[in-house]
Amino acid sequence: MALIVQKYGGTSVGTTERIKNVARRIAKWKAQGHDLVIVVSAMSGETNRLIGLAKDIQEYPDARELDVLVSTGEQVTIGLLAMALKEIGVPAKSYCGWQVPVVTDSSHSKARIQSIDDAAMRADLDAGQVVIVAGFQGVDELGSITTLGRGGSDTSAVALAAALKADECQIYTDVDGVYTTDPRVVPEARRLKTITFEEMIEMASLGSKVLQIRSVEFAGKYKVRLRVLSSFEEEGEGTLITFEEDQNMEKAVVAGIAFDRNEARINVKGVPDKPGIAYQILGPIADANIEVDMIIQNVGENGTTDFSFTVPRGEFQRTLGILRDVQTHIGAAKIDADDKVAKISIVGVGMRSHCGIASTMFRTLAEEGINIQLISTSEIKVSVLVDEKYLELGVRVLHKAFGLDQTVEA
- Kindly list the residues in this chain that would bind ligand ADP in the complex (CB under 6 A): 9-12, 41, 151, 173-175, 178-179, 181-184, 208-210, 256
Annotated binding residue 8: yes
Annotated binding residue 146: no
Q: Are 101 and 59 in contact, with CB atoms under 8 Å apart?
A: no
Torsion of CA 351, 168, 23, 52, to 10 degrees: -50
Sign, CA dihedral 394-396-400-404, equals positive
> Quick one: which H or E segment has residue 121?
helix 119-126
**What residue type is assigned to position 249 of the chain?**
M
Beginning with the edge strand found earlier in the chain, give each strand of the sheet holding 295-297 in spatial order.
295-297, 304-311, 256-272, 334-347, 381-387, 374-378
Annotated binding residue 214: no
Annotated binding residue 47: yes
The interface region with Mg ion, picked from 7-15, 51-59, 66-74, 107-115 by CB under 5 A, is 7-15
Minimal distance, residue 206 CB to ligand ASP, in Å: 18
Minimal distance, residue 174 CB to ligand ASP, in Å: 12
Question: Cβ closer to Mg ion: 210 or 257?
Answer: 210
Q: Find the length of the chain.
A: 410
How many helices and strands (H and E) does the chain possess? Answer: 12, 18
Minimal distance, residue 207 CB to Mg ion, in Å: 13
Q: Are 38 and 125 in contact, with CB atoms under 8 Å apart?
A: no
Annotated binding residue 7: yes
Annotated binding residue 395: no
Q: How many residues bind Mg ion (CB under 5 A)?
A: 2
**DSSP state string for 289-346:** TPPP--EEEPPPBTTEEEEEEEE-GGGHHHHHHHHHHHHHHHT-SEEEEEEEEEEEEE
Annotated binding residue 174: yes
Q: Which of ligand ADP, ligand ASP, Mg ion, none binds 238 (CB below 5-8 Å, type-dependent)?
A: none
By CB under 6 A, residue 77 contacts ligand ASP: no
Minimal distance, residue 103 CB to ligand ADP, in Å: 23
Rounded distance between C-alpha atoms, residue 130 and residue 5, angstroms: 10
Strand ranges for 117-236 from DSSP E: 130-134, 137-139, 145-147, 168-173, 194-196, 226-230
Radius of gyration of the chain (CA): 23
- Nearest residue to ligand ADP by CB is 9
**What residue type is assigned to position 77 of the chain?**
T
Which residue from 5, 42, 200, 323 is in contact with ligand ASP, where contact means CB under 6 A? 42
By CB under 6 A, residue 122 contacts ligand ASP: no
By CB under 6 A, residue 150 contacts ligand ASP: yes
By CB under 6 A, residue 152 contacts ligand ASP: yes
Q: Which of Mg ion, ligand ASP, ligand ADP, none binds 168 (CB below 5-8 Å, type-dependent)?
A: none
Q: Which of 89, 66, 67, 86 is nearest to 78 (CA)?
A: 86
Annotated binding residue 209: yes
Which residues are CB-contacts of 112 (< 8 A; sequence separation ≥ 6)? 104, 105, 148, 214
- What is the x/- site pattern for Mg ion, positions 151-190, by CB under 5 A? x---------------------------------------
Minimal distance, residue 66 CB to ligand ADP, in Å: 20
The interface region with Mg ion, picked from 3-11, 272-280, 282-290, 377-385 by CB under 5 A, is 3-11
By CB under 6 A, residue 8 contacts ligand ASP: no
The interface region with Mg ion, picked from 9-17, 81-89, 184-192, 258-266 by CB under 5 A, is 9-17
Interface ranges with Mg ion (CB under 5 A): 9, 151
- Per CB under 6 A, residues contacting ligand ASP are 9-10, 41-42, 47, 73, 135-136, 150-154
Q: Output the known binding site for substrate.
A: 47, 74
